[in-house]
């Protein structure tokens, strides 16, 4: 089989790594890929949002399966486009990807079908949004409706902050078109957990649980990032919690999307808050998480190509998906200045030495320059390790991290610690 993976981050490196282990795969292309992916796949210089060029490439190379990493091509309708030409592609259609593309859509869906989530209102008028603050209370959360690369969520501790956030989004267009509407939401407390699930429009099968670390600094301090590390499993996600989440969130959402004629196929990612009154959905994504994927896929025993073909062909119910008992931890290494800015072009050393310690070094923002691997983005590497438990996986992952060096690198030293408390 010939497989095309779309995207260029650590998530896509993990996808290429796992797909490449399938005996069914003869050749993997990745558009556009990165320096690590280039060791396993042929990288082609087509951006993930260039739908027509990607289609032309897939037709020319007679690609048997395309796997979409990031959300933007999904919300632009890449799945609809490829399917219209008879190509197999893993991911939701444009109508189904709306569950990530519009927070107002996903909140309204949850309200209509009684899927547990924070109390909310959606507004296009500033006065109405501000008036709702009295109802929802302070602290609250103000969110831009559309895609904002994880930056469109503002936690507001005071009335003044909440009013400013509403104005930033609706009047000052801080998030562009993504902020034509705001969602104002009740503030939830608890621990967060990410549940990624395979779905084929009928059946939904959760993967092992994971927890992300969104803040830049140790102890969950500083700015939000795309994610500074992850571990799997999340011990707080118990069998009891799973017994609530599967029917009330995952199965309910797949059924709701069918009712709305937006059948969902691909990865349904539920970002959950485990509150004192039960699990509630913070957001849905329509794709694999980054860096959760770099912690979850190393634990997958089953052939990922078999699972993805079963999803695309609507046969997921037949699949027996097996996971390793071992735990996994992934530590993200980022450029100086991230998440506000990021340096590029710093030479990276120690990647092979880290791999020799038994870690898997997934590349995110890297490229090759004059025979050397250099930094090329905010998140640079994700160093993953398996261990008999989280503590062992933490130790191994950091043994790998210590081998790696580039100027002004930053990484958290407490990834996974929450799981040990």
Q: Is 285 in the site for ligand GLY (CB under 6 A)?
A: yes
- Residue 285's binding partner out of ligand GLY, ligand AMP, none, with CB under 5 to 8 Å set by partner kind: ligand GLY
Q: Is 9 in the site for ligand GLY (CB under 6 A)?
A: no
What is the number of alpha carbons within 13 Å of residue 171 lying toward its C-beta?
10
Residue nearer to ligand GLY on the CB measure, 146 or 289: 289
Q: Smallest gap, in angstroms, from Cβ of residue 125 to ligand AMP?
A: 21
The dihedral sign for the CA sequence 189, 193, 195, 196: positive
Instruction: Name the CA dihedral angle for 50, 51, 53, 55, rounded to a multiple of 10 degrees.
Output: 160
Residue nearer to ligand AMP on the CB measure, 80 or 161: 161
- Residue 141's binding partner out of ligand GLY, ligand AMP, none, with CB under 5 to 8 Å set by partner kind: ligand AMP
Point out which residues bind ligand AMP (CB under 6 A). 118, 141, 153, 155, 185-188, 192, 214, 271, 282-283
Q: Is 64 in the site for ligand GLY (CB under 6 A)?
A: no
Structure tokens at 220: 């969950």
Specify whether the CB–CB gap between 149 and 160 falls below 8 A: no
Residue nearer to ligand GLY on the CB measure, 279 or 289: 289
Residue nearest ligand GLY, CB atom distance? 289
Residue 377 to residues 77, 150, 262, Cα–Cα distance (Å): 26, 16, 35
Q: Is 339 in the site for ligand GLY (CB under 6 A)?
A: no
Biggest CA pair distance of the chain: 59
Distance from CA of residue 54 to its chain's centroid?
22
Q: Is 403 in the site for ligand GLY (CB under 6 A)?
A: no
Interface pattern 224-253 for ligand GLY (x via CB under 6 A): ---x--------------------------
Residue nearer to ligand GLY on the CB measure, 73 or 227: 227
Among 206, 289, 365, 416, binds ligand GLY (CB under 6 A): 289
Q: Token pair 């209102």 is at which residue? A: 121
- Residue 292's binding partner out of ligand AMP, ligand GLY, none, with CB under 5 to 8 Å set by partner kind: ligand GLY
Residue 185 to residues 27, 117, 141, 150, Cα–Cα distance (Å): 46, 10, 5, 16
Interface pattern 148-167 for ligand GLY (x via CB under 6 A): --x-----------------
Binding site for ligand GLY (CB under 6 A): 150, 212, 227, 285, 289-290, 292
């Amino acid at each position: 089989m010939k497989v095309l993976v779309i995207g260029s981050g650590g998530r896509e490196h993990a996808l290429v790594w796992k797909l490449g282990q399938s005996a069914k795969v003869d050749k993997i292309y990745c558009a556009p890929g990165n320096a690590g992916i280039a060791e396993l796949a042929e990288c082609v210089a087509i951006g993930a949002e260039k739908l027509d060029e990607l289609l032309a490439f897939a037709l020319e190379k007679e690609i048997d399966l395309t796997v979409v990493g990031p959300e933007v091509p999904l919300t632009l309708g890449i799945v609809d486009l490829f399917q219209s030409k008879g190509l197999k592609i893993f991911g939701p259609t444009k109508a189904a990807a709306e569950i990530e593309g519009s927070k107002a859509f996903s909140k309204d869906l949850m309200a209509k079908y009684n899927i547990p989530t924070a109390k909310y209102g959606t507004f296009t008028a500033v006065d109405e949004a501000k008036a709702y603050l009295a109802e929802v209370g302070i602290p609250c959360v103000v969110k831009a409706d559309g895609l904002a690369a994880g930056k469109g969520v503002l936690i507001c501790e005071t009335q003044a902050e909440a009013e400013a956030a509403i104005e930033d989004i609706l009047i000052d267009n801080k998030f562009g078109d993504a902020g034509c509407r705001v969602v104002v939401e009740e503030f939830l407390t608890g621990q967060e957990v990410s549940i990624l699930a395979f779905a084929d429009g009928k059946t939904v099968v959760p993967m092992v649980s994971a927890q992300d670390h969104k803040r830049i600094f140790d102890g969950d301090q500083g700015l939000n990032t795309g994610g500074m590390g992850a571990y799997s499993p999340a011990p707080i996600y118990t069998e009891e919690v799973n017994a609530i989440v599967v029917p009330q969130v995952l199965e309910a959402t797949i059924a709701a999307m069918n009712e709305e004629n937006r059948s969902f196929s691909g990865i349904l990612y539920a970002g959950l808050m485990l509150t004192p009154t039960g699990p509630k959905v913070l957001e849905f994504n329509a794709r694999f998480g980054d860096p959760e994927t770099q912690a979850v896929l190393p634990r997958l025993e089953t052939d990922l190509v078999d699972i993805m073909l079963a999803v695309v062909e609507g046969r997921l119910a037949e699949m027996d998906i097996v996971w390793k008992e071992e735990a996994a931890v992934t530590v993200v290494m980022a450029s100086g200045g991230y998440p506000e800015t990021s340096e590029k072009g710093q030479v990276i050393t120690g990647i092979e030495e880290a791999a020799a310690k038994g870690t898997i070094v997934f590349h995110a923002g890297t490229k090759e320059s004059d025979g050397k691997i250099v930094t090329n983005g905010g998140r640079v590497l994700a160093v993953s390790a398996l261990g008999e438990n989280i503590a062992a996986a933490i130790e191994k992952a950091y043994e790998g991290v210590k081998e790696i060096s580039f100027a002004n690198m930053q990484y958290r030293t407490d990834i996974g610690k929450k799981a040990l408390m």
